[in-house]
């Protein structure tokens, strides 16, 4: 069996990075207490607190859908609503899990260029109605980096924080590509989360190089009350928790989380620059993290698919998403570029 996919489909097509794997093997020596009562989980939790410069509550889940939907459910009653971008993962890719986990909290969809919510788009949804018949807005959910591969700057985050404060809204951050955002913005994790008003962060380990596992960080500890029970009830309490927390520690302690993210971002930048040199190719969104969105002529897309290149085309006619990860190589990018040039010629 060959795993040699010609892939730019997603960062979760990649395998486990060496650091995460090594710590997983280390955690496999002998036995350890179950359900998170082990040293690896304690150490990883403490490391998150150090990294984010705050005494936060930390939880681990198997995947991002659970992290998002359970943390949103912790912030909402069933009659509340969550304001998110119309292209957000919680709306388009979680099969209704946020509504399910919260017993019905409604997602209210906002528009905004480049996959980003704006203070105006949030404000107009909140102020549209104030009566008892409208699901009461309670949370703003932002994705960093966004589903369009763009980033919220500190200034943009602070503007959103101001709207949140005006309307007494909590802020949830879907950090499926949080590491890529930290690497690209060159700001500290604290600066782009709780210092910018974020109450809860879902920090994805899977896309950063782990086999599986997300960390949920509650910067506002009160919001985490009984969250461990919510995870357990949802089937998200890993009994051998150390195999999620040890690779997390591996990523954090060795700096691999940032190294992997920087590498992926640099690969995307390299890919973008190559694409910009090809007549007939258009870049669709500003390339700011590890994804390049490009418009290609349909015959070119067919030709690439025929050569077994893997990528997503959910962005509409001619749009392709090319995602880079910790194991993307320049050689692979050059091969893809060469195949695009051949197909266009």
Residues that bind ligand PLP (CB under 6 A): 63-65, 68, 89, 143, 147, 174, 176, 206-207
Q: Which residue is nearest to ligand PLP (CB)?
A: 64
Q: Which is nearer to ligand PLP, 74 or 340 (CB)?
A: 74
Q: Which is nearer to ligand PLP, 89 or 116 (CB)?
A: 89
Residue 167 C-beta: closest distance to ligand PLP, Å: 24
CA 340 to chain CA centroid, nearest Å: 28
SS3 335: helix
Q: Is the peptide bond before 145 cis (omega within 30 degrees of 0)?
A: yes
Q: Which is nearer to ligand PLP, 63 or 303 (CB)?
A: 63
Residue 120 C-beta: closest distance to ligand PLP, Å: 23
Question: Cα–Cα distances in Å, from 216 out to 1, 86, 134, 139, 245?
Answer: 35, 23, 29, 16, 12
Q: Which is nearer to ligand PLP, 41 or 144 (CB)?
A: 144
Task: Report helix angle 119-127 to 154-166, nearest 10.
Answer: 20
Dump the DSSP string for 13-73: SS---HHHHHHHHHTTSS---STT-SHHHHHHHHHHHHHTTS--EEEEESSHHHHHHHHHH
Residue 30 C-beta: closest distance to ligand PLP, Å: 30
Cα–Cα distance, 99 to 82 (Å, whole number): 10
Residue 68 C-beta: closest distance to ligand PLP, Å: 6
Q: Which is nearer to ligand PLP, 172 or 274 (CB)?
A: 172
Residue 213 C-beta: closest distance to ligand PLP, Å: 9
CB 102 within 8 A of CB 78: yes
Residue 174 C-beta: closest distance to ligand PLP, Å: 5
Q: Which is nearer to ligand PLP, 64 or 135 (CB)?
A: 64
Closest CA to 267 of 3, 11, 4: 11
């Amino acid at each position: 069996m060959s795993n040699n996919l010609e892939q730019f489909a997603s960062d979760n097509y990649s395998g486990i990075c060496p650091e995460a794997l090594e710590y997983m093997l280390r955690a496999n020596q002998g036995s350890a207490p179950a359900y998170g009562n082990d040293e690896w989980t304690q150490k990883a939790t403490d490391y998150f607190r150090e990294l984010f410069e705050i005494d936060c509550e930390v939880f681990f889940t198997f995947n991002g859908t659970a992290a998002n939907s359970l943390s949103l459910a912790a912030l909402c009653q069933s009659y509340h609503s969550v304001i998110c971008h119309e292209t957000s993962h919680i709306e388009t890719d979680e099969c209704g899990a946020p509504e399910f986990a919260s017993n019905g909290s409604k997602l209210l969809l906002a528009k905004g260029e480049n996959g980003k919510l704006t203070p105006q788009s949030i404000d107009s949804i909140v102020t549209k109605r104030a009566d008892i018949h409208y699901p009461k807005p309670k949370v703003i959910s932002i994705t960093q980096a966004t589903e369009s591969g763009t980033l919220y700057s500190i200034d943009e985050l602070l503007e959103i924080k101001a709207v949140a404060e005006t309307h007494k809204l909590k802020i949830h951050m879907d950090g499926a590509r949080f590491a890529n955002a930290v690497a690209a913005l060159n700001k500290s994790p604290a600066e782009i989360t709780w210092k910018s008003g974020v109450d809860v962060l879902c920090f994805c380990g899977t896309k950063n190089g782990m086999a599986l596992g997300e960390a949920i960080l509650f910067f506002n500890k009160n919001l985490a009350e009984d969250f461990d029970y919510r995870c357990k009830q949802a089937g998200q309490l890993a009994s051998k928790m150390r195999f999620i927390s040890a690779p997390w520690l591996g990523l954090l302690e060795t700096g691999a989380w940032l190294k992997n993210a920087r590498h992926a971002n640099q690969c995307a930048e390299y890919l973008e620059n190559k694409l910009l040199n090809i007549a007939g190719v258009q870049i669709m969104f500003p390339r700011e993290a590890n994804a390049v969105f490009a418009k290609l002529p349909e015959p070119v897309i067919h030709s690439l698919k025929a050569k077994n290149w893997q990528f997503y085309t959910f962005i509409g006619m001619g749009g392709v998403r090319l995602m880079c990860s910790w194991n993307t190589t320049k050689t692979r990018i050059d091969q893809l570029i060469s195949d695009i040039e051949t197909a266009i010629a």
